[in-house]
Amino acid sequence: MEEKAIKRLYYSISEVSRITGLKPYVLRYWETEFAELKPSKNRAGNRIYRKSDVRTVFLIKKLLYHDKFTIEGARQKLRAVRRQKGEQMNFLLTDVKNADLLREMQLMLHEILNLLDTDKPVPQSGKTKK
């Protein structure tokens, strides 16, 4: 079942940016680096992303940020995945997005642990004690 956030046929670059957590300039740069990521443009010249484009963005994000591929390595891996047309291409958007969310939560928990490990008192936000 597709995620509720992805329910239309086309999305603007700002919507894709919000959905993926990437800046629009990163999406535009990736278009120049990955032949698989080529959103169409409407009459006004604005990019319009399809669901498959959003899936590709999530896959590129996973390869670069989580799996630590270089741009060239991610490009080769993406080509290999596209050629296989098998089970690897049938990944669901929700699976990729959930994995992305779990990685972000893990990073935040590590940051919290690092804060707790320091001997300094953690500043309280909001009301002060009397």
CATH assignment of the domain containing 60: 1.10.1660.10
What is the residue whose two structure tokens read 């590129």?
A: 60
Q: How confident is the model at residue 121 (pLDDT cuts 50, 70, 90)?
A: low
Q: How confident is the model at residue 83 (pLDDT cuts 50, 70, 90)?
A: confident
Contact 80/43 with Cβ under 8 angstroms? no
Residue 4 structure tokens: 């509720």
d(CA 16, CA 70): 22
Q: Give Cβ neighbours of residue 78 (< 8 Å, ≥ 6 apart).
A: 34, 36, 56, 59, 60, 63
Residue 3 lies inside a defined structural domain of this protein:
no
Residue 72 lies inside a defined structural domain of this protein:
yes
Note the pLDDT tens digit of each residue in 42-70: 999 999 999 889 888 988 998 899 889 99
Residue 125 lies inside a defined structural domain of this protein:
no
Q: How many domains does the chain have?
A: 1
Predicted local distance difference test score (pLDDT) of residue 2: 45
Residue 46 lies inside a defined structural domain of this protein:
yes
Residue 86 lies inside a defined structural domain of this protein:
yes
Predicted local distance difference test score (pLDDT) of residue 115: 80
Q: How confident is the model at residue 28 (pLDDT cuts 50, 70, 90)?
A: very high
Predicted local distance difference test score (pLDDT) of residue 1: 40
Residue 62: give the domain boundaries: 13-117
Mean confidence (pLDDT) of the chain: 80
